[in-house]
Structure 1
Amino acid sequence: MQGVDPGESSILAESGLNMQAVFNLSELAPEMRAAIDAVAATTGYRQLLLFAHGGRRMWQAVAGAGYLSGEHPIDRFSVDTVTRYFDEENPVSRYQLLYPQQPGHLPLQQLGKLAGWHHASPFRIGVNGRWGSWFAYRAVVLADTIFTPTLAMDDPSPCLHCPEKVCLSACPVVSAGSEIPLDACMDERLKWGSLCAGSCLARTACPVMRGECYDDEQIAYHYGLSLVTVRKHREAA
Protein backbone atom coordinates (compact mmCIF):
# COMPACT_ATOMS: atom_id res chain seq x y z
CA MET A 1 0.00 0.00 0.00
CA GLN A 2 1.45 3.33 -1.09
CA GLY A 3 1.11 6.32 1.22
CA VAL A 4 0.69 10.01 0.47
CA ASP A 5 3.31 11.48 -1.85
CA PRO A 6 5.27 14.26 -0.13
CA GLY A 7 4.12 16.76 -2.74
CA GLU A 8 0.49 15.99 -1.90
CA SER A 9 0.85 15.99 1.88
CA SER A 10 -1.40 18.39 3.78
CA ILE A 11 0.76 17.95 6.90
CA LEU A 12 3.93 19.09 5.13
CA ALA A 13 2.16 21.93 3.34
CA GLU A 14 0.52 23.30 6.48
CA SER A 15 3.79 23.06 8.40
CA GLY A 16 5.76 24.97 5.78
CA LEU A 17 7.94 22.06 4.65
CA ASN A 18 6.88 23.05 1.17
CA MET A 19 9.93 21.77 -0.73
CA GLN A 20 10.31 18.02 -1.15
CA ALA A 21 12.47 15.83 -3.35
CA VAL A 22 12.45 12.05 -3.75
CA PHE A 23 15.54 10.17 -4.96
CA ASN A 24 15.97 6.47 -5.66
CA LEU A 25 19.03 5.33 -3.71
CA SER A 26 20.04 3.02 -6.56
CA GLU A 27 20.25 5.97 -8.96
CA LEU A 28 22.44 8.24 -6.85
CA ALA A 29 26.03 8.82 -7.95
CA PRO A 30 28.59 6.61 -6.15
CA GLU A 31 30.11 9.51 -4.22
CA MET A 32 26.67 10.62 -3.01
CA ARG A 33 25.74 7.09 -2.01
CA ALA A 34 29.04 6.74 -0.15
CA ALA A 35 28.37 9.95 1.79
CA ILE A 36 24.97 8.63 2.84
CA ASP A 37 26.33 5.19 3.72
CA ALA A 38 28.88 6.89 5.97
CA VAL A 39 26.01 8.26 8.07
CA ALA A 40 23.65 5.30 8.22
CA ALA A 41 23.09 1.80 6.84
CA THR A 42 20.82 1.99 3.80
CA THR A 43 19.99 -1.73 3.62
CA GLY A 44 16.25 -2.25 3.23
CA TYR A 45 15.55 1.29 2.09
CA ARG A 46 14.67 2.24 -1.48
CA GLN A 47 14.56 6.01 -1.40
CA LEU A 48 16.01 9.17 0.08
CA LEU A 49 13.58 11.99 0.84
CA LEU A 50 14.78 15.58 1.17
CA PHE A 51 12.59 18.16 2.91
CA ALA A 52 13.15 21.91 2.95
CA HIS A 53 11.18 25.05 3.59
CA GLY A 54 10.85 28.10 1.38
CA GLY A 55 9.63 31.52 2.50
CA ARG A 56 8.01 32.43 5.81
CA ARG A 57 5.34 29.77 6.26
CA MET A 58 7.41 27.38 8.36
CA TRP A 59 8.54 30.06 10.80
CA GLN A 60 4.92 31.10 11.28
CA ALA A 61 3.98 27.47 11.95
CA VAL A 62 6.88 27.04 14.42
CA ALA A 63 5.86 30.17 16.31
CA GLY A 64 2.16 29.30 16.23
CA ALA A 65 2.82 25.85 17.67
CA GLY A 66 4.82 27.25 20.60
CA TYR A 67 8.20 25.78 19.66
CA LEU A 68 10.10 29.06 20.00
CA SER A 69 10.00 28.78 23.79
CA GLY A 70 12.44 25.83 23.78
CA GLU A 71 15.87 24.99 22.44
CA HIS A 72 16.47 24.06 18.79
CA PRO A 73 12.91 24.98 17.76
CA ILE A 74 13.41 24.51 14.00
CA ASP A 75 14.99 21.07 14.34
CA ARG A 76 12.38 19.87 16.83
CA PHE A 77 9.53 21.14 14.68
CA SER A 78 11.02 19.56 11.55
CA VAL A 79 11.46 16.18 13.22
CA ASP A 80 7.94 16.27 14.68
CA THR A 81 6.44 17.27 11.34
CA VAL A 82 8.18 14.54 9.36
CA THR A 83 7.25 12.01 12.07
CA ARG A 84 3.60 13.08 11.79
CA TYR A 85 3.76 12.82 8.02
CA PHE A 86 4.87 9.20 8.20
CA ASP A 87 2.72 8.19 11.16
CA GLU A 88 -0.48 9.67 9.74
CA GLU A 89 -0.04 9.69 5.97
CA ASN A 90 2.43 6.82 5.43
CA PRO A 91 1.89 4.51 8.40
CA VAL A 92 3.02 1.37 6.57
CA SER A 93 6.35 2.83 5.44
CA ARG A 94 9.55 2.08 7.30
CA TYR A 95 11.78 5.14 7.59
CA GLN A 96 14.82 6.54 9.34
CA LEU A 97 15.53 10.20 9.97
CA LEU A 98 19.12 11.07 9.08
CA TYR A 99 19.00 14.84 9.43
CA PRO A 100 18.80 16.67 11.74
CA GLN A 101 18.87 13.76 14.21
CA GLN A 102 21.77 11.57 13.15
CA PRO A 103 25.42 12.52 13.72
CA GLY A 104 27.72 12.79 10.76
CA HIS A 105 27.90 15.01 7.73
CA LEU A 106 25.33 14.84 4.95
CA PRO A 107 25.96 16.68 1.66
CA LEU A 108 22.83 18.83 1.89
CA GLN A 109 23.90 21.33 -0.75
CA GLN A 110 24.77 18.54 -3.17
CA LEU A 111 21.34 17.02 -2.63
CA GLY A 112 19.88 20.47 -3.21
CA LYS A 113 21.75 20.68 -6.50
CA LEU A 114 20.31 17.31 -7.54
CA ALA A 115 16.84 18.68 -6.78
CA GLY A 116 17.60 21.80 -8.80
CA TRP A 117 17.16 24.02 -5.75
CA HIS A 118 20.73 25.12 -5.14
CA HIS A 119 22.73 27.47 -7.33
CA ALA A 120 25.83 29.16 -5.96
CA SER A 121 25.54 32.88 -5.24
CA PRO A 122 28.17 35.61 -4.67
CA PHE A 123 27.06 35.82 -1.03
CA ARG A 124 27.76 32.10 -0.48
CA ILE A 125 24.15 31.01 0.07
CA GLY A 126 22.18 28.81 -2.31
CA VAL A 127 19.70 30.58 -4.55
CA ASN A 128 17.00 29.60 -7.03
CA GLY A 129 14.35 31.33 -9.08
CA ARG A 130 11.41 30.13 -6.98
CA TRP A 131 12.50 31.14 -3.49
CA GLY A 132 15.58 33.29 -4.03
CA SER A 133 17.91 32.55 -1.10
CA TRP A 134 15.01 32.24 1.34
CA PHE A 135 14.97 28.48 1.78
CA ALA A 136 16.77 25.94 3.95
CA TYR A 137 17.20 22.19 4.25
CA ARG A 138 15.31 20.76 7.23
CA ALA A 139 15.17 16.96 7.06
CA VAL A 140 16.64 13.97 5.22
CA VAL A 141 14.96 10.59 5.49
CA LEU A 142 15.68 7.06 4.32
CA ALA A 143 12.45 5.22 3.50
CA ASP A 144 11.20 2.02 1.93
CA THR A 145 8.69 4.04 -0.10
CA ILE A 146 8.11 3.64 -3.84
CA PHE A 147 7.22 7.21 -4.77
CA THR A 148 7.91 8.50 -8.26
CA PRO A 149 11.30 10.25 -8.12
CA THR A 150 11.07 14.02 -8.30
CA LEU A 151 12.03 15.81 -11.48
CA ALA A 152 14.74 18.35 -10.76
CA MET A 153 13.69 21.99 -10.92
CA ASP A 154 15.40 23.02 -14.16
CA ASP A 155 15.46 26.80 -13.81
CA PRO A 156 18.92 28.28 -14.43
CA SER A 157 20.70 30.25 -11.76
CA PRO A 158 19.05 33.68 -11.38
CA CYS A 159 22.52 35.14 -10.83
CA LEU A 160 23.23 34.60 -14.54
CA HIS A 161 20.65 37.26 -15.38
CA CYS A 162 21.67 39.80 -12.74
CA PRO A 163 24.43 41.94 -14.27
CA GLU A 164 24.17 44.62 -11.57
CA LYS A 165 25.19 42.20 -8.76
CA VAL A 166 23.62 44.48 -6.16
CA CYS A 167 24.48 41.93 -3.49
CA LEU A 168 28.18 42.67 -3.96
CA SER A 169 27.57 46.43 -3.97
CA ALA A 170 25.73 46.16 -0.64
CA CYS A 171 28.47 44.15 1.07
CA PRO A 172 30.94 46.28 3.09
CA VAL A 173 33.86 43.85 2.66
CA VAL A 174 33.83 43.46 -1.13
CA SER A 175 36.40 45.55 -2.95
CA ALA A 176 36.97 43.38 -5.99
CA GLY A 177 36.05 39.98 -7.34
CA SER A 178 32.79 38.16 -7.81
CA GLU A 179 32.39 36.47 -4.41
CA ILE A 180 32.32 37.70 -0.84
CA PRO A 181 35.57 36.68 0.96
CA LEU A 182 34.63 34.43 3.86
CA ASP A 183 37.33 35.51 6.33
CA ALA A 184 36.60 39.19 5.75
CA CYS A 185 32.89 38.50 6.19
CA MET A 186 33.45 36.85 9.57
CA ASP A 187 35.74 39.66 10.71
CA GLU A 188 33.13 42.25 9.76
CA ARG A 189 30.36 40.43 11.60
CA LEU A 190 32.42 40.42 14.81
CA LYS A 191 33.00 44.18 14.78
CA TRP A 192 31.20 46.20 17.43
CA GLY A 193 28.07 47.78 15.95
CA SER A 194 28.41 46.03 12.60
CA LEU A 195 25.23 45.96 10.51
CA CYS A 196 26.28 42.47 9.43
CA ALA A 197 26.12 40.99 12.93
CA GLY A 198 22.40 40.24 12.85
CA SER A 199 21.75 39.99 9.13
CA CYS A 200 23.47 39.89 5.74
CA LEU A 201 23.36 43.10 3.74
CA ALA A 202 24.25 41.25 0.56
CA ARG A 203 21.52 38.66 0.98
CA THR A 204 18.79 41.16 1.80
CA ALA A 205 19.85 43.30 -1.18
CA CYS A 206 19.39 40.40 -3.61
CA PRO A 207 16.35 41.17 -5.79
CA VAL A 208 15.47 37.53 -6.51
CA MET A 209 12.08 36.70 -4.95
CA ARG A 210 12.47 39.46 -2.38
CA GLY A 211 8.84 38.99 -1.41
CA GLU A 212 9.76 35.63 0.14
CA CYS A 213 12.30 37.23 2.48
CA TYR A 214 12.15 36.04 6.09
CA ASP A 215 10.65 38.49 8.55
CA ASP A 216 12.90 40.40 10.95
CA GLU A 217 12.38 37.97 13.83
CA GLN A 218 13.42 34.97 11.75
CA ILE A 219 16.45 36.75 10.30
CA ALA A 220 17.56 37.78 13.79
CA TYR A 221 17.16 34.20 15.04
CA HIS A 222 19.20 32.55 12.28
CA TYR A 223 21.96 35.15 12.18
CA GLY A 224 22.16 35.18 15.96
CA LEU A 225 22.94 31.46 15.87
CA SER A 226 25.46 31.85 13.08
CA LEU A 227 27.21 34.68 14.94
CA VAL A 228 27.74 32.37 17.92
CA THR A 229 29.32 29.84 15.56
CA VAL A 230 31.58 32.51 14.04
CA ARG A 231 32.77 33.59 17.50
CA LYS A 232 33.58 30.01 18.49
CA HIS A 233 35.45 29.48 15.23
CA ARG A 234 37.54 32.60 15.75
CA GLU A 235 38.27 31.78 19.39
CA ALA A 236 39.42 28.29 18.45
CA ALA A 237 41.67 29.52 15.64
Structure 2
Amino acid sequence: MNPSTILPQADVLDHAGLNRQHVFDLAALPPDLVAPLEPVPHERQLILFGHAGRRLWECVQAEGIHSAHPIDEYSVRTVERWLAQALPQVRSRVVFPGAQRIGLQRLGAIAGWHRAAPFMVGIDSVWGSWFAYRVAILTDTALPPSAPIDNGYPCDSCVNKPCISACPAGALVSGSFNLQACNTGRLAADSDCALGCTARSACPVGAEHRYDESQIRHSAAGSLATIRSYPACP
Protein backbone atom coordinates (compact mmCIF):
# COMPACT_ATOMS: atom_id res chain seq x y z
CA MET A 1 0.00 0.00 0.00
CA ASN A 2 1.09 3.57 -0.64
CA PRO A 3 1.83 4.90 2.88
CA SER A 4 0.76 8.40 1.85
CA THR A 5 -2.73 7.19 0.92
CA ILE A 6 -5.23 7.42 3.74
CA LEU A 7 -8.40 5.57 2.79
CA PRO A 8 -10.90 4.40 5.37
CA GLN A 9 -10.67 0.64 5.92
CA ALA A 10 -7.79 0.40 3.45
CA ASP A 11 -6.75 -2.83 5.14
CA VAL A 12 -9.80 -4.46 3.54
CA LEU A 13 -8.45 -3.52 0.12
CA ASP A 14 -4.93 -4.63 1.00
CA HIS A 15 -6.17 -8.02 2.21
CA ALA A 16 -8.18 -8.45 -0.99
CA GLY A 17 -5.09 -7.83 -3.09
CA LEU A 18 -5.79 -4.25 -4.19
CA ASN A 19 -2.82 -3.02 -2.22
CA ARG A 20 -2.09 0.11 -4.27
CA GLN A 21 -4.45 3.06 -3.91
CA HIS A 22 -4.14 6.71 -4.93
CA VAL A 23 -6.57 9.60 -4.56
CA PHE A 24 -6.49 12.39 -7.16
CA ASP A 25 -8.35 15.69 -7.12
CA LEU A 26 -9.79 16.04 -10.62
CA ALA A 27 -9.09 19.76 -10.55
CA ALA A 28 -5.37 19.07 -10.12
CA LEU A 29 -5.11 16.66 -13.06
CA PRO A 30 -4.29 17.72 -16.64
CA PRO A 31 -7.55 18.69 -18.36
CA ASP A 32 -6.87 16.42 -21.34
CA LEU A 33 -6.58 13.47 -18.97
CA VAL A 34 -9.89 14.26 -17.29
CA ALA A 35 -11.99 15.27 -20.31
CA PRO A 36 -12.52 11.76 -21.78
CA LEU A 37 -14.00 10.67 -18.46
CA GLU A 38 -16.80 13.23 -18.83
CA PRO A 39 -17.17 13.97 -15.11
CA VAL A 40 -20.40 15.48 -13.89
CA PRO A 41 -20.31 18.39 -11.41
CA HIS A 42 -20.51 16.31 -8.23
CA GLU A 43 -17.56 14.09 -9.28
CA ARG A 44 -14.56 15.76 -7.66
CA GLN A 45 -12.03 12.97 -7.18
CA LEU A 46 -10.62 9.93 -8.94
CA ILE A 47 -9.46 6.95 -6.91
CA LEU A 48 -7.08 4.55 -8.63
CA PHE A 49 -6.70 1.00 -7.35
CA GLY A 50 -3.94 -1.36 -8.35
CA HIS A 51 -2.42 -4.59 -7.24
CA ALA A 52 1.20 -5.50 -6.63
CA GLY A 53 2.52 -8.99 -6.12
CA ARG A 54 0.63 -12.28 -5.95
CA ARG A 55 -2.13 -11.65 -3.45
CA LEU A 56 -4.83 -10.53 -5.87
CA TRP A 57 -4.53 -13.61 -8.09
CA GLU A 58 -4.67 -15.83 -5.02
CA CYS A 59 -7.96 -14.17 -4.08
CA VAL A 60 -9.34 -14.48 -7.61
CA GLN A 61 -8.51 -18.19 -7.68
CA ALA A 62 -10.06 -18.69 -4.25
CA GLU A 63 -13.36 -17.23 -5.51
CA GLY A 64 -13.19 -19.35 -8.66
CA ILE A 65 -12.64 -18.43 -12.30
CA HIS A 66 -15.99 -18.52 -14.08
CA SER A 67 -15.61 -15.95 -16.86
CA ALA A 68 -13.21 -14.56 -19.45
CA HIS A 69 -12.33 -11.56 -17.28
CA PRO A 70 -12.13 -12.82 -13.69
CA ILE A 71 -9.56 -10.27 -12.51
CA ASP A 72 -11.60 -7.29 -13.72
CA GLU A 73 -14.81 -8.65 -12.27
CA TYR A 74 -13.24 -9.54 -8.93
CA SER A 75 -11.54 -6.15 -8.67
CA VAL A 76 -14.72 -4.20 -9.38
CA ARG A 77 -16.69 -6.32 -6.90
CA THR A 78 -14.02 -5.74 -4.27
CA VAL A 79 -14.07 -1.96 -4.75
CA GLU A 80 -17.86 -1.88 -4.68
CA ARG A 81 -17.94 -3.90 -1.45
CA TRP A 82 -15.33 -1.62 0.07
CA LEU A 83 -17.30 1.48 -0.91
CA ALA A 84 -20.50 0.08 0.59
CA GLN A 85 -18.68 -0.73 3.81
CA ALA A 86 -16.28 2.19 4.20
CA LEU A 87 -18.00 5.06 2.36
CA PRO A 88 -21.69 4.10 2.17
CA GLN A 89 -22.95 7.62 1.36
CA VAL A 90 -20.52 8.25 -1.48
CA ARG A 91 -21.65 8.53 -5.06
CA SER A 92 -19.23 6.77 -7.39
CA ARG A 93 -18.83 5.62 -10.97
CA VAL A 94 -16.44 3.02 -12.35
CA VAL A 95 -14.49 4.42 -15.32
CA PHE A 96 -12.01 1.54 -15.56
CA PRO A 97 -12.42 -1.23 -16.52
CA GLY A 98 -14.88 -0.09 -19.14
CA ALA A 99 -15.34 1.47 -22.52
CA GLN A 100 -14.15 4.97 -21.64
CA ARG A 101 -10.67 6.08 -22.64
CA ILE A 102 -8.47 6.60 -19.58
CA GLY A 103 -4.76 7.34 -19.38
CA LEU A 104 -3.78 4.76 -16.78
CA GLN A 105 -0.05 5.04 -17.36
CA ARG A 106 -0.20 8.84 -17.10
CA LEU A 107 -2.16 8.56 -13.87
CA GLY A 108 0.38 6.03 -12.65
CA ALA A 109 3.24 8.38 -13.50
CA ILE A 110 1.59 11.19 -11.54
CA ALA A 111 1.08 8.83 -8.61
CA GLY A 112 4.72 7.76 -8.78
CA TRP A 113 3.82 4.16 -9.65
CA HIS A 114 4.80 4.11 -13.30
CA ARG A 115 8.11 4.47 -15.09
CA ALA A 116 8.46 2.28 -18.14
CA ALA A 117 10.89 -0.62 -18.30
CA PRO A 118 12.53 -1.35 -21.67
CA PHE A 119 9.83 -3.99 -22.22
CA MET A 120 7.20 -1.26 -21.79
CA VAL A 121 5.68 -2.35 -18.51
CA GLY A 122 5.73 -0.08 -15.46
CA ILE A 123 8.50 -0.82 -13.00
CA ASP A 124 9.88 0.33 -9.67
CA SER A 125 12.62 -0.86 -7.34
CA VAL A 126 10.27 -2.52 -4.84
CA TRP A 127 7.74 -4.44 -6.92
CA GLY A 128 9.68 -4.70 -10.15
CA SER A 129 7.15 -4.95 -12.97
CA TRP A 130 4.80 -7.18 -11.02
CA PHE A 131 1.93 -4.77 -10.52
CA ALA A 132 -1.01 -3.54 -12.58
CA TYR A 133 -3.85 -1.04 -12.67
CA ARG A 134 -7.17 -2.62 -11.80
CA VAL A 135 -9.98 -0.12 -11.09
CA ALA A 136 -10.53 3.62 -11.36
CA ILE A 137 -13.61 5.35 -9.99
CA LEU A 138 -14.90 8.91 -9.99
CA THR A 139 -16.43 9.99 -6.69
CA ASP A 140 -17.98 12.93 -4.88
CA THR A 141 -15.55 12.45 -1.99
CA ALA A 142 -13.34 15.08 -0.36
CA LEU A 143 -10.59 12.71 0.77
CA PRO A 144 -7.04 13.97 1.31
CA PRO A 145 -5.31 13.65 -2.06
CA SER A 146 -2.41 11.22 -2.08
CA ALA A 147 1.16 12.41 -2.35
CA PRO A 148 3.25 10.83 -5.12
CA ILE A 149 5.53 8.01 -4.02
CA ASP A 150 9.03 7.23 -5.20
CA ASN A 151 10.15 3.62 -4.93
CA GLY A 152 13.09 4.29 -7.22
CA TYR A 153 13.71 3.49 -10.89
CA PRO A 154 16.00 0.48 -11.25
CA CYS A 155 16.62 0.54 -15.01
CA ASP A 156 19.05 3.48 -14.95
CA SER A 157 21.47 1.57 -12.73
CA CYS A 158 20.99 -1.81 -14.41
CA VAL A 159 24.27 -2.68 -16.13
CA ASN A 160 23.62 -6.07 -17.74
CA LYS A 161 20.03 -5.37 -18.82
CA PRO A 162 19.07 -9.05 -19.10
CA CYS A 163 15.64 -8.14 -20.43
CA ILE A 164 17.15 -7.00 -23.74
CA SER A 165 19.05 -10.20 -24.46
CA ALA A 166 16.17 -12.39 -23.21
CA CYS A 167 13.73 -11.16 -25.86
CA PRO A 168 13.82 -13.76 -28.67
CA ALA A 169 12.19 -11.33 -31.09
CA GLY A 170 14.89 -8.68 -30.62
CA ALA A 171 12.18 -6.13 -29.81
CA LEU A 172 14.43 -4.21 -27.38
CA VAL A 173 17.82 -4.18 -29.12
CA SER A 174 17.41 -0.81 -30.84
CA GLY A 175 17.08 1.05 -27.56
CA SER A 176 13.37 1.66 -28.04
CA PHE A 177 10.56 -0.85 -27.93
CA ASN A 178 9.64 -2.35 -31.32
CA LEU A 179 5.98 -3.29 -31.03
CA GLN A 180 5.84 -4.93 -34.46
CA ALA A 181 8.80 -7.18 -33.66
CA CYS A 182 7.20 -8.11 -30.33
CA ASN A 183 3.88 -8.97 -31.95
CA THR A 184 5.53 -10.96 -34.72
CA GLY A 185 7.58 -12.90 -32.19
CA ARG A 186 4.55 -13.74 -30.11
CA LEU A 187 2.62 -14.94 -33.14
CA ALA A 188 5.39 -17.26 -34.34
CA ALA A 189 4.48 -20.94 -34.32
CA ASP A 190 7.35 -21.86 -32.00
CA SER A 191 7.17 -18.71 -29.87
CA ASP A 192 8.69 -18.76 -26.38
CA CYS A 193 6.81 -15.63 -25.43
CA ALA A 194 3.27 -16.26 -26.66
CA LEU A 195 2.05 -16.89 -23.11
CA GLY A 196 4.54 -14.86 -21.12
CA CYS A 197 7.10 -12.14 -21.78
CA THR A 198 10.59 -13.63 -21.50
CA ALA A 199 12.10 -10.15 -21.19
CA ARG A 200 9.88 -9.33 -18.23
CA SER A 201 10.64 -12.66 -16.55
CA ALA A 202 14.39 -12.11 -17.02
CA CYS A 203 14.32 -8.86 -15.04
CA PRO A 204 15.65 -9.57 -11.53
CA VAL A 205 13.98 -6.57 -9.88
CA GLY A 206 11.17 -7.54 -7.53
CA ALA A 207 11.59 -11.22 -8.45
CA GLU A 208 10.14 -12.25 -5.09
CA HIS A 209 6.84 -10.67 -6.20
CA ARG A 210 6.74 -12.42 -9.57
CA TYR A 211 3.26 -13.55 -10.55
CA ASP A 212 2.24 -17.17 -10.38
CA GLU A 213 2.68 -18.90 -13.75
CA SER A 214 -1.08 -19.36 -14.08
CA GLN A 215 -1.61 -15.60 -13.79
CA ILE A 216 1.11 -14.89 -16.33
CA ARG A 217 -0.45 -17.32 -18.79
CA HIS A 218 -3.95 -15.99 -18.18
CA SER A 219 -2.97 -12.36 -18.82
CA ALA A 220 -0.77 -13.24 -21.79
CA ALA A 221 -3.54 -15.27 -23.40
CA GLY A 222 -5.77 -12.21 -23.36
CA SER A 223 -3.19 -9.96 -24.98
CA LEU A 224 -2.31 -12.65 -27.52
CA ALA A 225 -5.95 -12.88 -28.57
CA THR A 226 -5.96 -9.11 -29.07
CA ILE A 227 -2.83 -9.26 -31.24
CA ARG A 228 -4.37 -12.02 -33.35
CA SER A 229 -7.41 -9.84 -33.95
CA TYR A 230 -5.34 -7.05 -35.54
CA PRO A 231 -6.15 -6.95 -39.28
CA ALA A 232 -2.49 -6.35 -40.20
CA CYS A 233 -1.26 -9.43 -38.37
CA PRO A 234 -0.60 -12.61 -40.39
Task: Check whether TM > 0.5.
Answer: yes
Q: Residue 46 of structure 1 contacts residue 144 of structure 1 at CA under 8 Å; is this kept in 2?
A: yes
Q: Give the C-alpha shift of residue 234 in structure 1.
A: 4.6
- 2:130 is aligned with 1:129: no
| Shift, 1:177, TM fit | 2.0
Q: 2-side partners of 1:176 and 1:86: how far apart?
A: 45
Q: Which letter maps to 2:11?
A: S
Shift in alpha-carbon separation, 1:222–1:210, aligned structure 2, 3 A: same
Shift of 1:92: 1.4
- 1:119 and 2:115 matched: yes
- CA deviations on 1:9-56 (whole Å, 9 max, x unpaired) are 23211210000000111111222222xxx2332310221100000011
Q: Does 1:75 align with 2:72?
A: yes
Q: Which residue of 2 aligns with 1:28?
A: 29
Distance in 1 (alpha carbons) for counterparts of 2:40 and 2:130 = 31
2:66 corresponds to 1:57: no
| One-letter code aligned to 2:33 | M
Q: Is the 8 A contact 1:167 1:202 kept in 2?
A: yes
| 2:168/2:192 contact within 8 Å kept | no
Give the match for residue 203 of structure 2: 206
Amino acid at match of 2:31: P
**Aligned 1:1-237 pairs, distance under 5 A:** 5-6=6-7, 8-34=9-35, 38-66=36-64, 68-101=65-98, 103-174=99-170, 176-234=173-231
Query: What SS is found at the alignment partner of 1:41?
Result: coil
The 4+ residue runs of structure 1 with deviation greater than 6 A are none
CA–CA distance in 2 between the matches of 1:108 and 1:7?
A: 23
Change (3 A) 1:163 1:148: same
The separation in 1 between residues aligned to 2:135 and 2:12, in whole angstroms, is 14
Question: TM-score scaled to structure 1, two decimals?
Answer: 0.91
Q: How far off is 1:236 after superposition?
A: 6.5
Q: Shift of residue 61 of structure 1?
A: 0.4
Preserved contact between residue 227 and residue 233 of structure 2 (Cα < 8 Å): no
Question: 1:7 & 1:114 partners in 2: Cα distance?
Answer: 22
Answer yes or no: is the 8 Å Cα contact 2:23–2:45 preserved in 1. yes
Percent identity, aligned pairs only, is 40
| Structure 2: runs of 5 or more not aligned | none
RMSD: 1.8
The aligned amino acid for 2:196 is S
Paired AA for residue 81 in structure 1: T
Structure 1's unaligned 5+ residue stretches are none
Q: Is the 8 A contact 1:7 1:20 kept in 2?
A: no
C-alpha separation in 1, matches of 2:190 and 2:233: 23
Normalising by structure 2, what TM-score?
0.92
Pair 74,176 (structure 1): closer, same or farther in 2 beyond 3 Å: closer
- Note the C-alpha offset of 1:154: 2.0
Of 149-158 and 84-93, deviating more is 149-158
**Secondary structure at the residue paired with 1:84?**
helix
Label 1:31 to 1:15 Cα distance change in 2 as closer, same or farther (>3 A): same
The aligned amino acid for 1:27 is A
SS, match of residue 20 in structure 1? strand
Between the aligned partners of 2:117 and 2:127, the Cα distance in structure 1 is: 13
